[in-house]
Structure formats: C-alpha cells, structure tokens
C-alpha cells in the first residue's frame, strides 16, 4: 500500500507530539517533530551568543551561520522514541527547557530560519510514510499531504499539560508563567508574516480538551484507515 504523508498542526502543548508519535508507531511510519527543529535553531543561537539576555537576536550573524544548523533524529533504543540531534549532538533534554521555550517563537518567525528548516523537513519527507507535527506542516511544508489534522484544546488545559511535563522532568515551574508563555507563543506563531499557524482548509479538526490519550489515538487511527482505504 502506498505510504501517505500525515501533517498534524495546532497550538502549543495540545498533545500533537504524543498523538503523532503514537500514530506513527501504530502504522509503522517515521515521526518527525518539526518544533524540535526550531528549538535546535534557538539553542544554536543561544550557544553562539546570537541572542542577547534581553531577547534581541543578531539576525545578520544568525543568517550567515544558518547553514551550520543541521538537525537529525535517531531512535533512542531505551525510550523507543526518536531523540533530536543538533550537528550530531543529542540535545533532546536541552531543547525542552523553559529558557529555549521562551526564545523559540521569535526565532521561528525569522524567514531565513523557516526557509532552512522547511527545506530540511521536505527532504526528510520526500518518500512519504511520515507523520510530522508542527504549525505549518499542512499549509506550507506539505500542502499536498493526504491526511491533515488540526488539533486544539483550551489554554488552561494545554498549560496544565506543559506544567505537568516540566515538573515531571524535575524542572521548577510556575503555572501562571507557563500559561503566559504559551499564550505569547500562540500569539507570535499565529500572527507572524511567514507561514503563520492556521488551519488548512482541508484539515480534519480535533479538539482534544476532553479526550483521553487512548480516545484521540483511536480517532486518528480511524481517520487514517478511512483515508487509506479510500485511496
Ligand atoms: O511544538 P513546539 O512547542 O515544540 O514548537 C516550538 C516552537 O516552534 C513554537 O513556538 C512554534 C514553532 N514552530 C513553528 O513555527 N513551525 C513548526 N512547524 C513547528 C514549530
């Protein structure tokens, strides 16, 4: 059977990556977390001193050095999930900190950053058989994806999920700060000039505010089987 391309887009912390990972595993596809790629760009800029403490970005220097950012994913045999590598180094933990989260949206809004990451994403998905999650996958990266899902959930529920994730990893977190960060990222992601977060016209919409992980997994699998049976 022909392997299709699956694009899962939506707001921050609405569980896209959990859904996308589960779906990829169930159907034997490769999972790619495009948000991790923008987080790698941010980490790179922080490490290279291209983001000042006040958050301002040295765009000219960053653009000159953009070709130095190579992102890849490798399966971690212990977790059974892919880890993110920046120029060959495993940065899975480093890219999930609040510090990276607080700088990532302005970085992801830079046109040269988007152009570089979109090219890497299209390269990774050229054979099909992938599930990629992000903000612009169904609209800009793979506008012809056979299956597109747009996920959302209420702000408070999404903040609670992110908060629990941070606390679970032993990071100190403040719920109000997490909520404010999430709203600010949604605002920047939805209003930027290049490839803003928006629902593709042909996307299936899933509000998972009141769904369990098991229920959303089943919903996705049902949609996948409907689509692949029809094609
Ligand atoms: O999904 P996430 O929170 O890990 O994404 C990190 C940031 O990257 C988020 O603020 C939006 C941005 N992003 C994007 O602009 N385009 C994507 N395809 C994926 C993420």
User: pLDDT by residue (tens digit) across 3-47?
Assistant: 999 999 999 888 898 899 999 999 999 999 999 999 999 999 999
pLDDT at 143: 97
Nearest to residue 19, comparing CAs of 105, 155, 147?
A: 147
Can you tell me the mean pLDDT for 191-200?
90
Which residue owns the Cα nearest ligand 1 atom 14? Answer: 135
* 3-state SS, residue 76: strand
Range of the domain at 16: 5-230
Could you report the per-residue pLDDT of 142-157, keeping only the tens digit for each? 999 999 999 999 999 9
pTM of the model: 0.91
Ligand 1 pocket test, candidate residues 73, 95, 108, most atoms within 8 A of CB: 108
The CATH number of residue 37's host domain is: 3.40.50.300
Count how many domains the chain has: 1
Q: Is the C-beta atom of 15 inside 6 A of ligand 1? A: no
Give nearest CA residue, ligand 1 atom 6: 35
Residue nearest ligand 1's atom 20 by CA: 35
Task: Measure 38 CA to ligand 1 centroid, in angstroms.
Answer: 6
Backbone dihedral angles phi then psi of residue 223, each to the nearest 5 degrees: -65, -40
Percent of residues, the chain, with pLDDT higher than 90: 80
Calpha distance 129→172 (Å, rounded) = 38
| CA 98/CA 137 separation, integer angstroms | 24
Cβ(12) to ligand 1 under 6 A?
Answer: yes
Integer CA distances (angstroms), 168 to 137, 163, 210, in order: 29, 8, 21
Strands 71-76 and 81-86: antiparallel
Q: State whether the beta carbon of 146 lies less than 6 angstroms from ligand 1.
A: no
Query: Which alpha helices (H) appear in the chain, and where do they start and end?
Result: 16-27, 34-47, 59-65, 98-108, 111-124, 155-168, 175-191, 213-230
- Given the CA of residue 39, which atom of ligand 1 is nearest to it? 6
CA distance 73 to 89: 10
């Amino acid at each position: 059977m022909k392997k299709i391309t699956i694009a899962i887009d939506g707001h921050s912390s609405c569980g896209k990556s959990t859904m996308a990972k589960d779906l990829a595993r169930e159907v034997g596809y490769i999972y790619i977390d495009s948000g991790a790629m923008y987080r790698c760009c941010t980490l790179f800029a922080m490490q290279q001193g291209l983001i000042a403490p006040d958050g301002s970005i040295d765009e000219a220097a960053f653009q000159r050095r953009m070709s130095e950012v190579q992102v890849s994913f490798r399966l971690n045999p212990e977790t059974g999930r892919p880890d993110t590598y920046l120029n060959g180094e495993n940065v899975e933990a480093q890219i999930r900190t609040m510090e990276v989260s607080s700088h990532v949206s302005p970085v992801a809004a830079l046109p040269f950053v988007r152009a570089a990451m979109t090219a890497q994403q299209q390269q990774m998905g050229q054979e099909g058989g992938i599930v990629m999650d992000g903000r612009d996958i169904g609209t800009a990266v793979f506008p012809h994806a056979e299956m597109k899902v747009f996920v959302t959930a209420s702000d408070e529920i999404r903040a609670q999920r992110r908060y629990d994730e941070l606390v679970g990893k032993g990071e100190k977190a403040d719920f109000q700060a997490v909520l404010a960060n999430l709203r600010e990222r949604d605002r920047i992601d939805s209003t930027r000039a290049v490839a803003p977060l928006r629902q593709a016209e042909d996307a299936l919409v899933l509000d998972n505010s009141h769904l369990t992980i098991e229920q959303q997994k089943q919903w996705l699998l049902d949609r996948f089987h409907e689509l692949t049976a029809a094609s």
